[in-house]
């Protein structure tokens, strides 16, 4: 059985190859594949444009974050939300604390991975959701 990450990669790879072969001309196959990528991502818990995600992305744009930083932050928040199976704005402070402990102790995530997540979470909660949580001050970014 193919893992979800592998499936996403294969669909994205097909979409990229189709895009490269379209030579800037309209291509129905390319468009259909693009929508397939969007639909499959939605079906397997991938990227969807929720109001919260849209707001966070807009806030990052207003703060002058690069596209790459925006993508990395959104991805880090998505992984955390998938871990708990709920929207990031419904994750409690204790769950947030436990997630950091899980990454540090069980997943043995690298320092850079943890730093990215800390920065993403701080941005989401302090800027987008305008919440002050003492747990966020425990972590050094």
CATH number of the domain bearing residue 63: 1.10.150.130
Q: What's the count of helices (H) and strands (E) in the chain, helices before strands?
A: 7, 0
Average pLDDT in the 73-94 region?
94
Same-domain check for residues 38 and 61: no
pLDDT tens-place string over residues 36-67: 333 333 333 445 679 999 999 999 999 999 99
Per-residue confidence (pLDDT) for residue 49, from 0 to 100: 77
113-135 per-position pLDDT tens digit: 999 999 999 999 999 999 887 77
Give the residue carrying structure tokens 């790459």: 68
Asked whether residue 19 carries a pLDDT value surpassing 80, the answer given is: no
Sorted by sequence, the CB contacts under 8 Å of residue 14 that are 6+ apart come out as 33
Q: Let me know if 3 is exposed, middle or buried by CB neighbors in 10 A (0-12, 13-18, 19+).
A: exposed
What is the structure's pLDDT at 134? Answer: 74
Count up the domains in the chain and report the number.
2
Residue that wins the pLDDT comparison between 98 and 1:
98
Judge whether 44 and 116 are in contact, CB under 8 Å.
no
Per-residue pLDDT at 40: 35
Domain, as residue range, for 14: 4-43
One domain for residues 37 and 86? no
Whether residues 76 and 128 share a domain: the answer is: yes
Query: Average pLDDT for residues 98-108, to the nearest whole number?
Result: 94
Taking alpha carbons only, the member of 93, 101, 105, 103 closest to residue 135 is 93
CA-CA distances (angstroms) from residue 90 to 76, 81, 108?
16, 9, 25
Mean pLDDT (whole number) for 31-35: 32
Global confidence as pTM: 0.64
Residues 24 and 84 in one domain: no
């Amino acid at each position: 059985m193919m893992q979800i990450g592998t499936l996403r990669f294969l669909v994205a790879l097909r979409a990229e190859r189709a895009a490269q072969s379209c030579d800037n001309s309209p291509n129905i196959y390319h468009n259909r594949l693009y929508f397939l990528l969007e639909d499959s991502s939605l079906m397997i818990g991938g990227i969807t444009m929720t109001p919260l995600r849209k707001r966070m992305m807009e806030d990052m744009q207003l703060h002058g974050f690069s596209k790459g930083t925006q993508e990395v932050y959104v991805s880090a928040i998505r992984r955390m939300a998938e871990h708990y199976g709920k929207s990031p704005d419904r994750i409690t402070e204790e769950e947030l604390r436990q997630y950091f402990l899980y990454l540090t102790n069980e997943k043995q995530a690298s320092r850079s991975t943890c730093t990215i997540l800390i920065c993403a979470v701080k941005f989401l909660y302090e800027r987008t959701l305008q919440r002050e949580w003492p747990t966020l001050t425990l972590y050094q970014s």
